[in-house]
Structure 1
Amino acid sequence: MSWLFLITAGLLEIGWPLGLKYAQQDGCRLAGIAAAVLFMAGSGFLLFLAQKEIPMGTAYAVWTGIGAAGAFLVGVLFFNDAATLGRWLGAALIISGVVVMKLSSGR
């Protein structure tokens, strides 16, 4: 169950930069900031639950890795962020690191 909490926390981690991006649009400031805060709270709480069984370093690395790679992907797909080979390679390395952390956690 802890890994489910952690993966969900990582996915929610994508939501807060998305909320902050949304807050930059005219008329959406408060809604975007509120969404960001809610995603932060949900993500942090699930990380808290996951760390009851998953070592802190592993949990944090996986949590931030999912969030970073996911935010990159959302930026490319929905906000026309640059999609250079180097950026895709960096995202692939982050995802590879998350997989290695999971496989070597022993849980």
Structure 2
Amino acid sequence: MTWIILIIAGLLEVTWAIGLKYTAGFTKLMPTLWTLTAMLGSIGMLGLALRTLPLGTAYAIWTGIGTVGTVIYGIVALDEPASAMRLACIAMIIGGIIGLKLTNA
């Protein structure tokens, strides 16, 4: 269950990172409320996961999910570049996430 909580926390990190783009410097009410809610949920769930997972592992996986999800969103929805090097770097982050999970099962 802890790993599911951590994955959800990472997905909420993706949500708030993307949400920041749409808050216009926190001047738009609904995107700001959505972003702040996702931030609180993400950090709260990370805190729950840290009850049983090592700090370094949980934090690296949390930020990794956030990084990969945000980059993929940028490529798919915002027409950001999807160069071979960029995709290779994303693959390395995913490999690191999987490796950390496997070593802390």
User: TM-score, with normalisation over the residues of structure 1?
Assistant: 0.91
Q: How does 1:60-99 map to 2 (within 5 A)?
A: 60-99=59-98
Secondary structure at 2:59 match in 1: helix
Q: Residues of 1 paired with 2:72 and 2:82: CA distance? A: 9
Q: How does 1:8-23 map to 2 (within 5 A)?
A: 8-23=8-23
Residue by residue over 1:45-79, the C-alpha shift from the partner in whole angstroms, topping out at 9 and shown as x without a partner, is 11011111110100000000000000000111111
Question: For residue 21 of structure 2, what is the amino acid of its counterpart?
Answer: K
Q: Residues of 2 paired with 1:87 and 1:29: CA distance? A: 31
Q: Structure 2: where are the runs of 5+ without partners?
A: none
Question: For residue 2 of structure 1, what is the amino acid of its counterpart?
Answer: T
Over 6 Å off, 4+ runs: none
Report what 2:30 is aligned to. 31
Matched, 1:100 2:72: no
Report what 1:3 is aligned to. 3
Identity rate, percent: 41
Q: Residues of 1 paired with 2:34 and 2:81: CA distance? A: 25
- Give aligned pairs, total: 104
CA RMSD of aligned residues (A): 1.4
